[in-house]
Structure 1
Amino acid sequence: MKHLHTNPEIGRLKMQKFTFIWTYILASISITKSDYTAAVLEYQPIISTSPNATVEVNLEEYARYINDAKQNKTVNIIVFPEYGLTGFFSDPAPYGIVIPNRNEGPNFQNYWLEKLSNAAKANEIYVVVNLVEKAANNKNETIYYNTNVMFDRSGKIGAKYRKINLFNEPLLTPGNSDENQAVFSTDFGVTFGMVIGYDLLFYNPSRSILANSSVADVILSSAWYSALPFYHSLSYHLAYAQANRVNLLASNLNSLDKGVSGSGIYGAKGNIFSYSLPGTSTSKMLLSGGLNTPREDFVPFDLSLSKFNTSRVFEGNRYKFQTLNLTSDSVVQQKVCYGLFCCQVNLTMGTEVNSSEVYQLMAYTGSLRLMDKTLPFVRICALLACESTDPRTCGNSAASSSTKFENISVTTDVCLGQKDFFQPLYLTTDLLPIYNTRYESIIKKYCTRLTLSTSREQKNVLAFGFYGSGGAMLNFSCFVVSFMVIVTYFI
């Protein structure tokens, strides 16, 4: 991808105390119903002298980007990130506004809504923004929601979605799935579902919205804290799109010191239309082409990650590990089980093998703690690069990973309840997703067999396998099958 445009006001903004980063990612997405062009922004909000001034200066930037999108390419829909207008805050009250329901507008009493509506109407473009919504509960107490609003081409509110799964947002109220308007249809023949941030980690709403058979495209507005090795933004977002066979428009806030970054447009076949993981404070536009045939190689925008503070959530002493013996042998096979949950890897060694490097196969079933949230039932099966044979050093991007694998194939048999789900897990030590993979989910008599494999030689592998969530208890048939798998392995 080429840098086709530089914002003319960047010199002026650099002179200000507060700077912004935005990456404009455009993609024409090919789907069965219709082709359309989408834009997502990675954006660092400008923080001004007061909450009102902060929102208004960012509204001006939003309006300019909406106009710029329309002028540079015929964009049908543009998506902005979570907390993009406000930045992070401790008190939602100064930012809270009353947001009308669907079909209201294009005239609004609130200036912020009026500004967004006018920009959508003037450019005849669908606009998705994130706001703090003020409302009253059944006790007539004031409450606040983390809310996405879609303005249609006429400037009317076409959808409103309140975030259900809050993370580190103690003064906000979670949305009610029965009241949400997370799904909306457009005049270009595409029906979208909307989620916000870590909603993507939970069945409701990230999978429940797909129960609507018309939804083949999902919008994600996020302020995504990347945590190694399982929750990195680019990896998790691409995996969601591939596992659920949907197009994902992921707009992320940019806050490098907090490890918040990584936006992209991902395809239903595990292909990448465009993505960005900026590491410097610059403003550039990225255009992607050749969208019907996924590109083999991508050059991310400003991949300079010295300022990107990626956290790590890894309780190595709780997981089960099996160290792999990396030799010049052409094929390496290994298996590890955590109770009845087993993980198997088949490696075909490539042209370069460093036997001093450490790779371990891990399996885990149980809870994980991420920020202020406990994920109650997680299943992970993965090949991990490690700094040493100590399992606690695995999944760290500092691990040495020069060994090349001609092919990697990871397999597991799982029992799925109604609200259980799995998706691929793939990440390099450069913090980029491993793309052009094959992901298969084959339903057997009692269980489901998952297989993830590479399609070409791969190096710098940090994590490769599966991440699952849900909470299904093993039924008797599945218990028997799982038990027999383990017995067969040890015989």
Structure 2
Amino acid sequence: MIISYFPKCGAVLAFFVLSVGALDTFIAAVYEHAVMLPNRTETPVPKEEALLLRSRNIDVLEKAVKLAARQVLPFLHWLGYWKGNLELDKNDIPDPEVNWIPLQERLSCLAKDNSIYIVANIGDKKPCNASDPQCPPDGRYQYNTDVVFDSEGRLVAHYHKYNLFAPEIQFDFPKDSELVTFDSPFGKFGIFTCFDIFSYDPAVMMVEEFQVDSILYPTAWYNTLPLLSAVPFHSAWARALGVNLLAANTHNTSMHMTRSGIYSPEAVKVYYYDMETESGQLMLSELKSRPRIEAIYSAAVHWSTYARGVKPFSSERLSFPGMTYFDAFTFTKLKRNTGNYTVCQKDLCCHLTYKMSEKRTNEVYALGVFDRLHMVEGQYYLQVCTLLKCQTTDLRTCGEPAGSAFTRFEEFSLSGTFGTSYVFPQIVLSGSQLAPERHYESDVVREAFWAGTNSAWKRWTSAEPRRSPFAFLGSGPGAHIIVTPEDGIYGFNFSRESIYPYLEDIPDPQVNWIPCNNPN
């Protein structure tokens, strides 16, 4: 999301699947990787340097894969190598003095030797010529790509990221979107990358048209308060769409990239948040193989039905403007311990009913609304209703990140006249802690929403990040799948030329290729 609302996406996705029969449940693993990046440069580095850096990152992944496999991990979703940096090197003949093992071959052997599926995020290059009117001047397409190797080491799928984050200038958009899925002994899986989650195509289409059970999601997500932090949004997305989501984020505290997790429709299974160290983390949790059959929540909920039946609450208080990541919100201040408020912007009206146990004099809360085009680092139409704490008692700070919140709300109901059925409610407490799952089953307790027409959605409440104690969960069987992050090289001002040494030529999965058996 960008440095603002949208997390920067970049991660390698690797997941492993054990060779077993149909399973009702499986163990999922997510690895948050502290990626080793190259120095910033506008010119290509020597091939040997690219190979060495790639190898160092793969060494870390290999340890995570083997650990996950010992814990019975069918899928390893590993935080991917930053897209240009850790991507694979080009497929020319290396210097014999370089201890070179093609990245795809090494991933294939890791999957085969550990009987696990691996999904990794790497860079793909495809030549083109003047007969193609869209061919770049350098004669090649460069794609942010996820690859999938099954437990026999076979390349079974690849996905070219369709919705690139604005700074990803070193990559090209595929001509058409790709809805990539594959079947496993524990359900049907879909794949997309980071910024894709904000778009109807492919994220929602993957679930609704292809009926996938689980999403493998490598990302390089930039946590941004108050309206977009990884764990709250990712868990809300899984809950709303009725699928499992294995989200692997890059670990880079200097860029506020952390927070990976495993989410099901009914619960946040496990997540990791650490802004204090530079260490990676492996997480495991058991998931239902086909959660959609039992999903409680449906994406087709008509969220605005209730709100449109609410008569706007009369008010003696005036609304005021506020900025949240360059978006001009309209806010109204909550003045008493209990009350009813309505605030509108264009076609969206947000209604709030609440009761505080006490109103602290050193904290100010506001009801906010946004119904416009988001114009920074991409254009996305957003609809947002949010109840949040202002950073200070100065109303000009409403919408800015708040470090903590101490006022207790005994109850509240928040609704909005959204123009879409895809709404993702989230309740975030002080320290960015998630509210207990029981609150999402109540018609009374509704928090901020961020909705977007086939583009982006989101909601939030006050609070700021806090390290989660949840990390390595898994004293029992090992995981069936492990996910890693997207590489996220786009966030480091790399040029097309500088990332070229890290790219590979990824073949069509239809060729039935097992690199471990046949590297050529």
Task: Answer yes or no: is the 8 Å Cα contact 1:86–1:95 preserved in 2.
Answer: no
Deviation at 1:338, TM superposition (A): 1.1
Aligned to 1:405: 409
Is 1:147 matched up with 2:137? no
TM score, norm. by length of structure 2: 0.66
Aligned to 2:206: 209
Where 2:445 maps in the other structure, the secondary structure is strand
Mark the runs of 5 or more structure 2 residues left unpaired by the alignment: 1-11, 17-21, 39-47, 92-99, 290-321, 456-520
Is 1:354 matched up with 2:356? no
Task: Answer yes or no: is the 8 Å Cα contact 2:128–2:140 preserved in 1.
Answer: yes
What is the alpha-carbon distance in structure 2 between the residues aligned to residue 77 and residue 38 of structure 1?
Answer: 6
Is 1:368 matched up with 2:351? no
Aligned to 2:332: 322
Deviation at 1:131, TM superposition (A): 0.2
Aligned to 1:338: 345
Structure with more relative contact order (C-alpha pairs < 8 Å, separation 6 or more): 2
Identify if the C-alpha distance between structure 1 residues 389 and 315 changes in structure 2 by more than 3 Å, giving closer, same or farther: farther
What is the alpha-carbon distance in structure 2 between the residues aligned to residue 126 and residue 67 of structure 1?
Answer: 12
Alignment of 1:12-51 (within 5 A): 34-47=24-37, 50-51=49-50
Is 1:396 matched up with 2:379? no
Deviations 1:233-258 (A, max 9, x none): 11111111111111110001111101
Identify if the C-alpha distance between structure 1 residues 278 and 111 changes in structure 2 by more than 3 Å, giving closer, same or farther: same
Deviations 1:192-236 (A, max 9, x none): 111101111111111111123531211110011112222211111
Aligned to 1:183: 181
Tell me the amino acid that sits aligned with residue 54 of structure 2: V
Task: Answer yes or no: is the 8 Å Cα contact 1:51–1:86 preserved in 2.
Answer: no
Task: Answer yes or no: is the 8 Å Cα contact 1:199–1:205 preserved in 2.
Answer: yes
Identify if the C-alpha distance between structure 1 residues 320 and 397 changes in structure 2 by more than 3 Å, giving closer, same or farther: closer
Aligned to 1:436: 437
Task: Answer yes or no: is the 8 Å Cα contact 1:316–1:392 preserved in 2.
Answer: no
Tell me the amino acid that sits aligned with residue 465 of structure 1: A
Identify if the C-alpha distance between structure 1 residues 402 and 413 changes in structure 2 by more than 3 Å, giving closer, same or farther: same
Task: Answer yes or no: is the 8 Å Cα contact 1:220–1:251 preserved in 2.
Answer: yes
Tell me the amino acid that sits aligned with residue 74 of structure 1: V
What is the alpha-carbon distance in structure 1 between the residues aligned to residue 104 and residue 150 of structure 2?
Answer: 13
Aligned to 1:278: 274
Alignment of 1:235-250 (within 5 A): 235-250=232-247
Deviations 1:84-134 (A, max 9, x none): 334765xx9x84557xxxxxxxxxx97110100000001111111100001
What is the alpha-carbon distance in structure 2 between the residues aligned to residue 25 and residue 429 of structure 1?
Answer: 33
Deviation at 1:345, TM superposition (A): 1.4
Aligned to 2:387: 383
Is 1:228 matched up with 2:211? no
Larger % of strand: which?
Answer: 1
Deviation at 1:392, TM superposition (A): 3.9
Task: Give the length in aligned residue pairs.
Answer: 383
Task: Answer yes or no: is the 8 Å Cα contact 1:126–1:150 preserved in 2.
Answer: yes
Identify if the C-alpha distance between structure 1 residues 392 and 175 changes in structure 2 by more than 3 Å, giving closer, same or farther: farther
Tell me the amino acid that sits aligned with residue 166 of structure 1: L
Where 1:74 maps in the other structure, the secondary structure is coil
Deviations 1:335-385 (A, max 9, x none): 1111231111122323x5414411100111001234x2122x110011011
Task: Answer yes or no: is the 8 Å Cα contact 1:316–1:393 preserved in 2.
Answer: no
Task: Answer yes or no: is the 8 Å Cα contact 1:326–1:355 preserved in 2.
Answer: no
Aligned to 2:460: none
TM score, norm. by length of structure 1: 0.70
The alignment yields a C-alpha RMSD, in angstroms, of: 3.5
Deviations 1:304-351 (A, max 9, x none): xxxxxxxx9815782211111242xxx43211111231111122323x
Where 2:103 maps in the other structure, the secondary structure is helix
Identify if the C-alpha distance between structure 1 residues 318 and 276 changes in structure 2 by more than 3 Å, giving closer, same or farther: same
Greater shift, 144-153 or 232-241, is seen at 232-241
Task: Answer yes or no: is the 8 Å Cα contact 1:343–1:411 preserved in 2.
Answer: yes
Where 1:264 maps in the other structure, the secondary structure is strand
Is 1:468 matched up with 2:451? yes
Aligned to 1:477: none
Where 1:114 maps in the other structure, the secondary structure is helix
Is 1:253 matched up with 2:247? no
Alignment of 1:281-292 (within 5 A): 281-282=278-279, 285-288=282-285
What is the alpha-carbon distance in structure 1 between the residues aligned to residue 448 and residue 344 of structure 2?
Answer: 14
What is the alpha-carbon distance in structure 1 between the residues aligned to residue 444 and residue 117 of structure 2?
Answer: 36
Identify if the C-alpha distance between structure 1 residues 163 and 96 changes in structure 2 by more than 3 Å, giving closer, same or farther: farther
What is the alpha-carbon distance in structure 2 between the residues aligned to residue 123 and residue 431 of structure 1?
Answer: 37
Where 1:55 maps in the other structure, the secondary structure is helix
Where 1:68 maps in the other structure, the secondary structure is helix
What is the alpha-carbon distance in structure 1 between the residues aligned to residue 401 and residue 123 of structure 2?
Answer: 35
Alignment of 1:39-188 (within 5 A): 39-47=29-37, 50-71=49-70, 73-81=71-79, 84-86=80-82, 89=85, 95=88, 97=90, 111-137=102-128, 139=132, 141-167=139-165, 168-178=167-177, 180=178, 182-188=180-186
Deviation at 1:413, TM superposition (A): 2.6
Aligned to 2:512: none
Tell me the amino acid that sits aligned with residue 24 of structure 2: S
Identify if the C-alpha distance between structure 1 residues 236 and 25 changes in structure 2 by more than 3 Å, giving closer, same or farther: farther
What is the alpha-carbon distance in structure 1 between the residues aligned to residue 444 and residue 50 of structure 2?
Answer: 47
Task: Answer yes or no: is the 8 Å Cα contact 1:79–1:221 preserved in 2.
Answer: yes
What is the alpha-carbon distance in structure 1 between the residues aligned to residue 28 and residue 406 of structure 2?
Answer: 37
Deviation at 1:282, TM superposition (A): 3.4
What is the alpha-carbon distance in structure 1 between the residues aligned to residue 15 and residue 140 of structure 2?
Answer: 37
Where 2:423 maps in the other structure, the secondary structure is strand
Greater shift, 35-44 or 51-60, is seen at 51-60
What is the alpha-carbon distance in structure 2 between the residues aligned to residue 252 and residue 194 of structure 1?
Answer: 15
What is the alpha-carbon distance in structure 2 between the residues aligned to residue 290 and residue 165 of structure 1?
Answer: 28
Identify if the C-alpha distance between structure 1 residues 79 and 313 changes in structure 2 by more than 3 Å, giving closer, same or farther: farther
Deviations 1:371-427 (A, max 9, x none): x2122x1100110110346554124343552111122321123333xxx63212433
What is the alpha-carbon distance in structure 2 between the residues aligned to residue 225 and residue 199 of structure 1?
Answer: 14
What is the alpha-carbon distance in structure 2 between the residues aligned to residue 66 and residue 391 of structure 1?
Answer: 49
What is the alpha-carbon distance in structure 2 between the residues aligned to residue 349 and residue 257 of structure 1?
Answer: 36
Identify if the C-alpha distance between structure 1 residues 253 and 421 changes in structure 2 by more than 3 Å, giving closer, same or farther: same
Task: Answer yes or no: is the 8 Å Cα contact 2:33–2:281 preserved in 1.
Answer: no
